[in-house]
Amino acid sequence: MSTAVQVLAVVIAAILTVVFVMESFLYKHPRLYPMFLTSPEHFGAVRLWTINMGFYNLTTAVALVAGVVLAANGHESAGQALVVFTAAQHTFMAVVLVVSERRLWLNSLMEGIPALALLILAVG
């Protein structure tokens, strides 16, 4: 696994960890209303959704870091497979996001472009 793949995987993992905190703990903050298309009257309805998505992003971050660690410690194939799968998964989820809610096109680009770049670098 190249250094560029490892660095990008770790950067994406860091971003996903920040997203985890925003989705799981800070989703009620007014600055995040536009990002999540929420408002105070929806908090009860979206609580499970935001926490679930937050932890989904955290486990994805852990998978990326685990892939890098595996590759760096002599398990190149396993690490590569984990990083490629995770990048492909997030690329696919970015498409699902924009198809399911067009107003979240920017969120979709922010999720999909780094993941697609990682996927291309990892398999290229």
**Domain coordinates in residue numbering, the chain:** 3-123
Q: Quick one: tokens of 99?
A: 């198809």
pLDDT at 37 over 80: no
pLDDT digit string, tens, across residues 56-70: 999 999 999 999 999
Ordered alpha helix ranges (H), the chain: 3-24, 33-36, 43-72, 76-100, 105-123
- What secondary structure letter does DSSP report for 73? T
Q: The tokens of 2 are what?
A: 């190249």
> Does residue 36 have a pLDDT over 90?
no
pLDDT digits (tens, 9 = 90+) for 54-106: 999 999 999 999 999 999 999 999 999 999 999 999 999 999 999 999 998 99
Query: CA angle at residue 62 from 118 to 10, to 5 degrees?
Result: 40
